[in-house]
Amino acid sequence: MRSKVRAGIVGVGVGIPEPVLTNHDLEQRIDTSDEWIVTRTGIRERRVAPPDVATSDLAAQAAHQALQNAGRGAEEVDLIVVATATPDMPWPSTACLVQAKIGAVRAAAFDLNAVCSGFVYALWMAAQAVETGAYRCVLVIGADILSRQVNWEDRSTCVLFGDGAGAVVLAPVEEPYGVLSGVLGADGTGAPLLNVPAGGTREPLSPEVIACKRHTIHMRGREVFKFAVTIMGEVSVQALEKAGIAPEEVNLFIPHQANIRIIQAAAERLNLPMERVFVNVDRYGNTSAASIPIAVYEAWEQGRLKKGDLVVVVGFGAGLTWGACVIRWAY
């Protein structure tokens, strides 16, 4: 009997802008301190894309590297999903721009917006598409340039975010490898806690809107924090139960990199020592949909992901949204 076909990650890549903005740089601009930022968030520096770089540029770079690592050509890709909340333009989708940039001539392409949970949403949706046999080579990309949506005068938000992109290639793999389970969730009543209020159809851009900075990120930090510490652990446990895996079997936990305190709380909920938790929030800050695939790439590059390892990826974000996937690493 043939074993079940699952979707597995067979290549990873990143697109990270070079310019670094440190906490000390921010001390020169706003009333903050390296000590406050490090103790409250764990962030030491973040990357900020230069003005001529757009989301599709970082996404295409990540896609190109992921395809190279997978040993696949762009013409083999049959679907591109870009998880982003900061597209190059309202439309067409950033995924279409990436498709043209990398020459993926056979691929369908669309964007998915679940903000910081976007990569996990896209991964789980794309995994279903591969498992059914409908698609055989899917690029799942998380890419965001939140520095363009930040209010650089608001110290409670501007210290948190950074720019970047990460990509994975999903293709059929045989059991026991691949994406074993996924759980996604949303609670739209929490939309006011974290949003960019203007620039859409509710409050189109106008000089007044821009003067009031309503086209920038607005966040009720403490409430988002409370939500995050609970949901990250809970959704991870749900995804593990669905996969029939005990938390102690997890080799590497790769959470959304928003805040070290949130990551530690989630690890505690799963009873996982921090040695089995991947952390790079200190170097990138919160890169939204890019944070998990960048972390996955770095974990793989550092040799912390080996064939057969059990991995949990888990995210939360505006929406509110959340999601987790359990993966048995395939290469």
Active site residues: 116, 256, 286
Nearest distance from C-beta of residue 265 to ligand UT7, angstroms:
11
Q: Does 142 bind ligand UT7 (CB under 6 A)?
A: no
Q: Of 48-56, 92-100, 220-228, 321-329, which part binds ligand UT7 (CB under 6 A)?
A: 220-228
Comparison of 72 and 218: residue with beta carbon closer to ligand UT7: 218
Which of 136, 209, 225, 276 is the binder for ligand UT7 (CB under 6 A)? 225
Q: Does 286 bind ligand UT7 (CB under 6 A)?
A: yes
Nearest distance from C-beta of residue 290 to ligand UT7, angstroms:
11
Nearest distance from C-beta of residue 46 to ligand UT7, angstroms:
13
Which of 24, 29, 106, 222 is the binder for ligand UT7 (CB under 6 A)? 222
Residues 95-134 that bind ligand UT7 (CB under 6 A): 116
Comparison of 59 and 318: residue with beta carbon closer to ligand UT7: 318
Which of 77, 82, 114, 159 is the binder for ligand UT7 (CB under 6 A)? 159
Q: Does 32 bind ligand UT7 (CB under 6 A)?
A: yes
Comparison of 77 and 193: residue with beta carbon closer to ligand UT7: 193
Nearest distance from C-beta of residue 37 to ligand UT7, angstroms:
6
Burial class for 102, CB neighbours closer than 10 Å (0-12, 13-18, 19+): buried
Q: Does 23 bind ligand UT7 (CB under 6 A)?
A: no
Q: Provide the residue type at 56 as one letter.
A: S
Nearest distance from C-beta of residue 194 to ligand UT7, angstroms:
6
Comparison of 251 and 264: residue with beta carbon closer to ligand UT7: 264
Nearest distance from C-beta of residue 88 to ligand UT7, angstroms:
21
Q: Does 317 bind ligand UT7 (CB under 6 A)?
A: yes
Nearest distance from C-beta of residue 169 to ligand UT7, angstroms:
25
Q: Of 76-84, 218-226, 277-285, 301-309, which part binds ligand UT7 (CB under 6 A)?
A: 218-226
Question: 264-273 long-range contacts, Cβ below 8 Å, gap at least 24?
Answer: 265/229, 265/232, 265/233, 266/229, 266/232, 266/233, 266/236, 266/314, 268/233, 269/232, 269/233, 269/234, 269/236, 269/237, 270/233, 270/236, 270/237, 270/312, 271/247, 272/247, 272/248
Q: Of 12-20, 48-56, 155-163, 198-206, which part binds ligand UT7 (CB under 6 A)?
A: 155-163
Q: Does 151 bind ligand UT7 (CB under 6 A)?
A: no
Q: Does 74 bind ligand UT7 (CB under 6 A)?
A: no
**Three-class SS string for the chain?**
CCCCEEEEEEEEEEECCCCEEEHHHHHHHCCCCHHHHHHHHCCCEEECCCCCCCHHHHHHHHHHHHHHHHCCCHHHCCEEEEECCCCCCCCCCHHHHHHHHHCCCCCEEEEECCHHHHHHHHHHHHHHHHHCCCCCCEEEEEEEEHHHCCCCCCHHHHCCECEEEEEEEEEEEECCCEEEEEEEEECHHHHHHEECCCCCCCCCCCHHHHHCCCCCCEECHHHHHHHHHHHHHHHHHHHHHHHCCCHHHCCEEEECCCCHHHHHHHHHHCCCCHHHECCCHHHHCECHHHHHHHHHHHHHHCCCCCCCCEEEEEEEECCCEEEEEEEECCC
- Residues forming contacts to ligand UT7 in the complex (CB under 6 A) are 32, 36-37, 40-41, 116, 155-156, 159, 219, 221-222, 224-225, 228, 258-259, 286, 317
